[in-house]
Amino acid sequence: MHQKTFQNPLKSGFYPDPSICRVGEDYYMVTSSFVYFPGLPIFHSRDLVHWEQIGHGIHSPEQLDYKNCETSLGLWAPSIRYHDGTFYIINTFVSEGREARRDNYIITAENPAGPWSKACFVEGADGIDSSLFFDDDGRMYYAGNYIVSDPVYEGHHGIYLCELDPETFQFKGERTVIWNGLKTRSKWIEAPHIYKHGGWYYLIVAEGGTFTNHSVMMARCHTIDGDYEICPRNPIVSHRHMSLMSEISVVGHADLVETQKGEWWMVLLGVRPYDGFGGPHFNLGRETFLIPVLWESDGWLRVDNENGIVNREERLPDLPVYLAAPSFFSDNFESDTLNFCWNSIHPAEKPFWSLTDRPGCLRLFLKEEVMHEICTPAFLGRRQQHKEFRMQFAMDFRPKEEYEEAGVALVQDDRYHYTFTVRQKDGARVLTLTEVKNHARTVLAETPLEQDGRIYLTVTATAEGYHFYYGFRDQEFRLLCKDADPTLLSSLVNEGFTGTYIGMYATSNHNASSNYADFDWVLYEA
């Protein structure tokens, strides 16, 4: 029997603010990444359902430096477009507080896999979550949001448009307000995307903030810079009328794509909450979802399914279906480059790892930086992508000083995380699980390690929490701690925009060290 449906989310784990474009039969998508490096992951698909990462928009510290940003700053929502042989990504770089400095830049590439150009900042471009539009005559436009200088209400923002010089990427002429939020009493209106269809210019925006009232709204006009008519059925997508404990919640921030067969689809973000710990929480961050949309006879969009919302199970696009990715990941570190899934926190001034010093292993050098500060620690992590999972690490590490430690970290940010590390205490190796909660550090469990040599560290997650195991041979699971509080890593607890990362960590705790930890392999399965 042929597959007829697919399961949302499209990209599980922390992949928010999706933007999409099509070139022929190929689809490309980019999402935000905040402080993680490389930044702006780029994906390719031919069926809109199965996606393979092919690169990053920000893959070199020389392109953009964001090493001092706190976790929910950095690279906010991007937008990807293709025009006349070139791919364009426009992105907002937030470096000095969520409501402070915001800079918008453009990078380009002939191949979406890279390399991408250095960031070209658009002077005078305030606001967040901007996008580009290329009209039929080749003119290039910038659409962005702005904060109204004399707001009538909290969250009184708007959308403006300005033509760009296609060579310098600078504003050309005066900018025009095309949607003042007061017109619809909209709050925190942002993430504008413009499309041309059926003789109209359509404007899609996110509205209502990134939580309970998140939604997608639209407007249209016969001229790109004219007085936009508001859709009478706004919001065209929202779960604001549903419980926060719905299977999928806080949906919004959308982009559209038309297939080569004339279907229209929408990518957007949402979360999958869990209960049982004092309210809805979500550790995976905001994820990418896909829904069908349809142009009605009156020229407005609607969600093209039975209930008009974002569903877990959805019908497949009318495209050839490709193989699904497995729900497990393993890395034996046999390549001379890191897998795309591994990220550091901020771009590193120089590499703190090696794939060649001990072939077949990832060597992680201890750094003085620590996880509980805004810095670039010796950490390489990947996204937690499932509510229930198991991740194993095979590590060789011999601490020489009591300030040296290496192992695993589960990270929401510098204020909320777990470290599961081997260190030295009274001349012997010990294994320690530490909780950092709003910067307060607590040792949850500790045990002496009676054997030298390799140690296998395992972290699992279930509905009850996180569980930590260790062993001295593969498939040996000695329990160190059970039911560690999962809400420590909830995006609602830290009030952030990211999701949980889990990965390899090594530190000398503000002391100089030449020591290192070798990781032979890593396995993630759900």
Per-residue pLDDT reduced to its tens digit, 402-457: 999 999 999 999 999 999 999 999 999 999 999 999 999 999 999 999 999 999 99
Give pLDDT tens digits for 175-206. Answer: 999 999 999 999 999 999 999 999 999 999 99
pLDDT value, residue 41: 99
Cβ count near 190 (within 10 Å)? 28
DSSP annotation of 488 reads G
Q: Do domains 5-315 and 328-525 have the same CATH topology?
A: no
**pTM for the model:** 0.96
Beta bridge partners of 140: 134, 164
Give pLDDT tens digits for 256-265. Answer: 999 999 999 9
pLDDT value, residue 103: 92
Q: Which residues are catalytic?
A: 17, 190
State yes or no: pLDDT of 144 exceeds 80.
yes
State yes or no: pLDDT of 100 exceeds 80.
no
* CA within 13 Å, CB half, 334: 3
Percentage of residues in the chain having pLDDT higher than 90: 92
- Average pLDDT value for residue range 340-360: 96
State yes or no: pLDDT of 98 exceeds 80.
no
Q: What are the two backbone dihedrals, phi and then psi, of residue 56, each rounded to the nearest 5 degrees?
A: -135, 145
Characterize the bridge pairing of strands 301-303 and 287-295.
Answer: antiparallel
pLDDT value, residue 99: 61
Sequence ranges of the domains in the chain: 5-315, 328-525
Which residues lie closer than 8 Å to 302 by C-beta, 6 or more apart? 233, 236, 293, 294, 296, 308
State yes or no: pLDDT of 1 exceeds 60.
no
* Cα angle 63, 343, 468; round to 5: 165
* Cα angle 267, 268, 271; round to 5: 135
- Segments of 346-439 assigned E as strands: 353-354, 362-365, 378-383, 389-396, 405-411, 416-425, 428-437
Q: How far apart are CA 271 and CA 283, in angstroms?
A: 9
Candidates 3.10.129.10, 3.40.50.720, 3.40.50.450, 2.60.120.200; CATH matching 328-525? 2.60.120.200
**Closest residue by Cα to residue 57 from 35, 33, 26:** 33
State yes or no: pLDDT of 325 exceeds 80.
no
What's the token pair of residue 111? 């191949």
pLDDT value, residue 421: 99
What would the DSSP string read from start to end of 202-269?
Answer: EEEEEESTTTTT-EEEEEEESSTTS-PEEPTT--SEE-TTS-TTSSSEEEEEEEEEE-TTS-EEEEEE
Cβ 410 vs Cβ 489: under 8 Å: yes
Looking at the domain 5-315, which fold is it? Answer: Tachylectin-2; Chain A (2.115.10)
Q: Spell 368-395 as b/e; 16+ CB within 10 A means b.
A: ebbbbebbbbbbbbbbbbbbebbbbbbb
- Average pLDDT value for residue range 467-479: 97
Cβ 526 vs Cβ 385: under 8 Å: yes
Residue 284 amino acid letter: L
Q: Is the C-alpha dihedral spanning 120, 125, 129, 131 positive or negative? A: negative
Beta bridge partners of 432: 421, 446
Q: How confident is the model at residue 275 (pLDDT cuts 50, 70, 90)?
A: confident
Tokens 């620590």 belong to 370
What's the token pair of residue 94? 């937030």
State yes or no: pLDDT of 135 exceeds 90.
yes
Cβ 146 vs Cβ 160: under 8 Å: yes
Tokens 């300005």 belong to 162
pLDDT value, residue 225: 96
User: Mapping DSSP to helix (H, G, I), strand (E, B) and coil, where does residue 493 land?
Assistant: helix
What's the token pair of residue 379? 């950490």
Element (H, E) at 75: strand 74-83
